[in-house]
């Protein structure tokens, strides 16, 4: 795939990818942007490995999810708890407060549950597609979905 | 009912994000950097391959040349040790002069090869 073709495909999925990552990062849009850029570079470097061009979007989502997991692990390794908190609060924009309730509820969910919920409700992916993106079984996706949905309803109701 | 509420919440989820042109320009810059590094790596690999070939050829050439004069070198070692020394240690050298000359030739060829490799690598500068 040519450079320009890749950029064109990215333009088509950019909004969905950013929404997914902002949700995954619980409102930290700068971090979401950084992760999106890193994920897209990885996708560009591995573009020859994609089996089906029609699945470009879900393939990029899988890379973005893995990049998010790695980033989270690295941040835990290299930043202390206090640094992480101050980093998060510093980067909260006005927009954060518009969805504060949702972000706080999402933040309470484990990462896999959060991802399943976001992919299902935000991107309308099927259980099968979610399983393929997160590289887990379909049963596991259903389990995470049920638990995440219950917890999210409880958290949003209590808020 | 609650399911509908969740769908509505996520349906209305439309957070502010950086403008498309900013995001895409940043991506284009990143990809250009990636391409630049990739091209440099390709050139570096080609350079290394060239240097290895040149160094191997020179090493083999020097080794062959020295091997051709191996009997002369061995004879010279024999003559020298016979005329100068007369103890056990130098008797051993005297008796193994061919083996020693062979080891010496191998060592010289290796040193020459490594030097030629370094020289070839330094002659071909990386394009900026």
Lowest mean pLDDT among A6-10, A66-70, B23-27, B86-90: B86-90
- Are A114 and A12 in contact, with CB atoms under 8 Å apart? no
ipTM of the complex: 0.81
Q: Residue length, chain B?
A: 128
Domain ranges in chain B are 17-123
A128 touches chain B (CB under 8 A): no
Q: Which residue of B has its CA nearest to A92?
A: B16
Q: What number of H helices and E strands is found in chain A?
A: 9, 0
Q: Which domains can be identified in chain A, with CATH numbers?
A: 3-158 (1.20.140.160)
Q: What percent of chain A has pLDDT over 70?
A: 86
A97 touches chain B (CB under 8 A): no
> What is the least distance, in Å, from the CA of B44 to any CA of chain A?
19
Residue B118 and residue B128: Cα distance in Å, rounded? 20
Q: Tell whether the model's pLDDT for residue A131 goes beyond 90.
A: yes
Q: Which residue of A has its CA nearest to B26?
A: A37
Q: Inter-chain contact B34–A45, Cβ cutoff 8 Å? A: yes
Q: Which residue of A has its CA nearest to B1?
A: A153
Residue B127 and residue B73: Cα distance in Å, rounded? 45
| Chain B residues with CB within 8 Å of chain A CB | 2-3, 5-7, 9-11, 13-18, 20, 23-24, 26-28, 30-31, 34-35
- In angstroms, how far is CA B36 from the centroid of its own chain? 21
Interface test with B, best of A36, A100, A103, A146 (most B CBs within 10 A): A36
Residues 6+ apart with CB under 8 A from B70: B98, B101, B102, B105
pLDDT in tens, A6-30: 999 999 999 999 999 999 998 888 8
A127 touches chain B (CB under 8 A): no
pLDDT of residue A147: 92
pLDDT of residue B127: 47
Most confident of the ranges A145-159, B3-17, B106-120: B106-120
Residue B104 and residue B98: Cα distance in Å, rounded? 10
Q: A 24-43 residues with CB below 8 A of B?
A: 27, 29, 32-33, 36-37, 40-41
Top-confidence residue, A79 or B54: B54
Q: Tell whether the model's pLDDT for residue A96 goes beyond 90.
A: no
Q: Inter-chain contact B13–A19, Cβ cutoff 8 Å? A: yes
Residue whose token pair is 């699945």: A55
Give the mean pLDDT of chain A: 86
pLDDT of residue B122: 86
Three-state SS sequence of B13-37: CCCCCCCHHHHHHHHHHHHHHHHHH
Q: Inter-chain contact A98–B27, Cβ cutoff 8 Å? A: no
- Are A133 and A61 in contact, with CB atoms under 8 Å apart? yes
Give the mean pLDDT of chain B: 85
Top-confidence residue, A108 or B94: A108
């Amino acid at each position: 795939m040519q450079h320009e073709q890749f950029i064109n495909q990215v333009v088509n999925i950019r909004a969905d990818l950013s929404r997914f990552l902002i949700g995954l990062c619980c409102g930290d849009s700068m971090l979401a942007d950084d992760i999106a850029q890193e994920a897209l570079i990885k996708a560009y470097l591995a573009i020859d490995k994609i089996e089906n061009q029609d699945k470009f979007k879900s393939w990029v989502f899988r890379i973005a999810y893995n990049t998010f997991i790695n980033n989270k692990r690295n941040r835990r390794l290299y930043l202390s708890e206090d640094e992480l908190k101050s980093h998060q609060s510093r980067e909260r924009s006005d927009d954060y407060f518009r969805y504060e309730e949702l972000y706080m509820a999402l933040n309470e969910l484990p990462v896999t549950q959060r991802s399943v919920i976001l992919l299902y409700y935000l991107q309308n992916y099927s259980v099968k597609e979610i399983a393929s993106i997160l590289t887990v079984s379909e049963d596991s996706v259903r389990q995470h979905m049920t638990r995440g949905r219950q917890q999210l309803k409880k958290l949003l109701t209590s808020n | 009912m609650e399911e509908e509420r969740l769908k509505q919440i996520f349906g209305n989820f439309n957070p502010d994000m950086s403008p498309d042109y900013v995001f895409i320009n940043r991506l284009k810059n990143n990809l250009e950097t990636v391409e630049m590094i990739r091209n440099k790596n390709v050139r570096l690999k080609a350079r290394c391959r060239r240097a290895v070939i040149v160094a191997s050829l020179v090493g083999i050439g020097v080794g062959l040349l020295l091997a051709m004069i191996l009997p002369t070198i061995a004879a010279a070692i024999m003559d020298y040790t016979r005329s100068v020394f007369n103890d056990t240690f130098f008797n051993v050298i005297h008796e193994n002069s061919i083996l020693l000359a062979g080891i010496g030739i191998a060592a010289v060829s290796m040193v020459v090869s490594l030097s030629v490799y370094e020289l070839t690598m330094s002659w071909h500068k990386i394009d900026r």
